């Protein structure tokens, strides 16, 4: 069977192949999840750092409006991403890879497709974005506007995330520009695409996870699917038009000495409509040491310093769970 789901014919996607049916306990099991109300909404034109700290410390993540990224650019980016998934199977297959070292790759389910018992109902297209001029030559030329539009979007996304990081830094009394440079040197665009699924109660669109990154921003489309594990249960997140979700990642948890946490989230599928979301991630360079900032850990750092490379390679030994992985870097006797 063709691996990329966006290459399946509509007829193929009418039936749920056995290896996409998750066992009871691991599948959503129902569709009527409660809606997560009261997600903090930050108006970036007026935002104070304390508001963002409160949102992260009390809720774990937030949405941003008046973020300064033109809606027309958001819409165009969504369009070229959707169009890319609609290009021919032959064209997309040229980008297919499960090798992390490939800096522009499409794959399906997870990077472990060949080893996993059940496949997630998604294709993903991920590529590096920073600096744009170093990577743009690897990006698709079909659709023809992809490079131009995504180039602009990558720059705007980076600017936006730095405004958020600066406000967070200010709230903790960190020196301006604390997150610049090696701590945020890698920028990825990660596009999830889910074709309509015959039975969303049996499938999972993206596994439950915390984001390993420094920080993530998500642009949703109008088709819901994102869920957060909040107050002991899974809850639906209703996409808010023209807003971005911001999710602190595990590196920010380490830097804030555990004052922030990174929320558990997953994606469920939709029976009628295809769903596309665009994630922008900032990630430390592989060899830079990440450690609690002195201002966040005056008396006692909870975590020892580690490189992102170490963090990444410790994942497999730590139950493939980023929280357990970070635990393994805790200072002993703390
Ligand atoms: C992610 C993620 C959610 C979504 O890419 O890390 O959680 O709605 N995406 O696609
Ligand atoms: Ni995520």
- E strands of 121-236, at which residues? 123-128, 186-194, 206-209, 215-219, 226-230, 233-236
**Is residue 299 very low, low, confident or very high in pLDDT (cuts 50, 70, 90)?**
confident
The pLDDT of residue 188: 98
For 209-234, what is each residue's pLDDT tens digit? 999 999 999 999 999 999 999 999 99
Cα of 209 vs centre of ligand 2, distance in Å, is 6
Pocket test for ligand 1, best of 157, 192, 209 (most atoms within 8 A of CB): 192
CA angle 271/28/12 to nearest 5° reads 35
Assess whether the C-beta atom of 156 lies below 6 angstroms from ligand 1.
no
Among 2.60.120.330, 3.40.50.720, 3.10.20.30, 2.10.10.100, name the CATH number for the domain at 31-296. 2.60.120.330
Beta-sheet strand order (sheet of 104-108)? 41-43, 62-65, 244-248, 215-219, 275-283, 186-194, 123-128, 104-108
Quick one: which atom of ligand 1 is closest to the CA of 216? 6
For 183-206, what is each residue's pLDDT tens digit? 999 999 999 999 999 999 999 999
* Atom 1 of ligand 1, nearest CA residue: 279
Q: Would the pLDDT of 334 be above 70?
A: no
DSSP secondary structure letters along 37-52: ----EEETTT--HHHH
Assess whether the C-beta atom of 6 lies below 6 angstroms from ligand 1.
no
Assess whether the C-beta atom of 54 lies below 6 angstroms from ligand 1.
no
Indicate which ligand has the atom closest to the C-alpha of 218.
Answer: 1
Cα of 281 vs centre of ligand 2, distance in Å, is 10
The pLDDT of residue 46: 96
- Cβ(264)–Cβ(235) below 8 Å: no
Position of tokens 């002991």?
Answer: 232
Q: Spell out the domain ranges in the chain.
A: 31-296
Bond before 131 cis per omega within 30 degrees: yes
Which uninterrupted H or E stretch holds 325? Answer: helix 322-327
CA separation for the pair 142, 83 (Å, rounded) = 8
**Is residue 332 very low, low, confident or very high in pLDDT (cuts 50, 70, 90)?**
confident
Assess whether the C-beta atom of 192 lies below 6 angstroms from ligand 1.
yes
Share of the chain above pLDDT 90, in %: 90
The pLDDT of residue 168: 97
The pLDDT of residue 319: 83
Q: What is the dihedral of CA 324, 244, 98, 203, to 10 degrees?
A: 80
CA separation for the pair 295, 283 (Å, rounded) = 21
Assess whether the C-beta atom of 204 lies below 6 angstroms from ligand 1.
no
């Amino acid at each position: 069977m063709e691996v990329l789901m966006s290459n399946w014919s509509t007829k193929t996607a009418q039936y749920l192949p056995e290896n996409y049916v998750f066992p009871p306990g691991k599948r959503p099991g129902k569709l009527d999840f409660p809606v997560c109300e009261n997600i903090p909404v930050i108006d970036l034109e007026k935002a104070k750092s304390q508001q963002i700290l409160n949102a992260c410390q009390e809720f774990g993540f937030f949405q941003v409006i008046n973020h300064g990224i033109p809606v027309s650019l958001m819409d165009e980016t969504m369009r070229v991403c959707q169009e890319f998934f609609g290009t021919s199977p032959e064209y997309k297959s040229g980008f297919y890879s499960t090798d992390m070292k490939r800096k522009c790759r499409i794959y399906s389910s997870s990077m472990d497709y060949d080893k996993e018992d059940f496949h997630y109902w998604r294709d993903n297209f991920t590529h590096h974005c920073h600096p744009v001029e170093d990577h743009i030559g690897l990006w698709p030329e079909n659709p023809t506007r992809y490079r131009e539009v995504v180039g602009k979007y990558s720059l705007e996304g980076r600017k936006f995330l730095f405004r958020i990081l600066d406000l967070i830094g200010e709230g903790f009394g960190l020196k301006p520009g604390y997150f610049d440079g090696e701590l945020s040197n890698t920028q990825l665009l990660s596009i999830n695409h889910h074709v309509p699924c015959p039975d969303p109660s049996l499938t999972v669109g993206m596994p439950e996870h915390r984001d390993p990154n420094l920080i993530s921003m998500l642009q949703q489309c109008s088709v819901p699917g994102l869920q957060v594990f909040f107050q002991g249960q899974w809850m639906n997140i209703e996409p808010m038009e023209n807003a971005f979700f911001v999710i602190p990642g595990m590196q920010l948890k380490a830097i804030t000495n555990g004052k922030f946490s990174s929320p558990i989230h997953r994606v469920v599928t939709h029976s009628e409509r295809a769903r596309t979301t665009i994630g922008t991630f900032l990630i430390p360079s592989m060899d830079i040491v990440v450690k609690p900032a002195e201002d966040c850990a005056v008396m006692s750092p909870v975590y020892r310093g580690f490189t992102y490379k170490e963090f990444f390679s410790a994942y497999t030994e730590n139950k493939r769970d980023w929280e357990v992985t970070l635990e393994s870097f805790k200072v002993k006797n703390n």
